[in-house]
Amino acid sequence: MKNIILIAAPSAGKGTVSNFLTKEYGIPHISTGDILREKAKEDSDLGRDIKYKIDNGIFVSEDIILDILKSRIQEEDCNNGYILDGFPRDVSQAESYQKILKEIGKNIGVVIVIDVSLETALKRIAGRVICPKCKSVYSTNSDGVKPKVDGICDKCNEPLVKRVDDNEETYMNRYNTYMEKTYPLIEYYEKQNIVYHVDGNVSVEYTHKQVKEILGEEND
């Protein structure tokens, strides 16, 4: 199985696709956002700084993210591939990431872009809830990802919560930053002929079907 980079606007479904891939192929989902949110809970200057930036849709220092990531992808469970969600966020990070890969002898793999409209993303952000324990993502207004029991995680029975940064104002800050900083990554990776696009507007099932077809072709 190849390493996978997911690129999409906030709330386009990266977390849901990542959970599907982990279950389907047994490779770890590495979300720099989740790792940073754990750091943000720490009672330290670094933790408070990260929390402020997350809550206000501001990028965290590249050096911090790179240190966290380099350590994580060298763990044993990444030997057969992994899914990167939320990294790289811009071309500079992409270049730094490829230097890390060269240092540790790993291949970049494939880049999957989930295309979704702003209207669809805003609808999803309004209904998104997560499990604080296992990080599973659900939506209260999308049939494909609603929890079986309202407000309860299907996997570990924990009460679901809404992230403090899941509101329209903060979302638009994140979306505008994505368009300015992250969207150019698509062209950067297209020059390497490793980009695949999937339509994330239709349904969760349709998105998963497209991703599975892409990986089937890549692993033939």
Q: Are 130 and 139 in contact (CB under 8 A)?
A: no
Choosing from 51, 106, 163, 212, which is the catalytic residue? 163
Is 174 annotated in the active site? Answer: yes
Q: What is the largest CA-CA distance in the chain?
A: 48
Choosing from 37, 89, 124, 135, which is the catalytic residue? 89
Single pTM value for the model = 0.76
Average pLDDT for runs of 10 along the chain of length 220? 90 85 93 83 89 86 84 91 90 94 95 93 85 85 80 93 84 90 94 95 90 80
Instruction: Report the number of distinct structural domains present in the chain.
Output: 1
Q: In this structure, what CATH number is given to the domain that contains residue 44?
A: 3.40.50.300
Q: Would 152 be classed as within a structural domain?
A: no
Is 128 annotated in the active site? Answer: yes
Residue span of the structural domain in which 35 resides:
4-117+172-218
Is 37 annotated in the active site? Answer: no
Contacts of 60 (CB under 8 A, 6+ apart): 36, 50, 53, 54
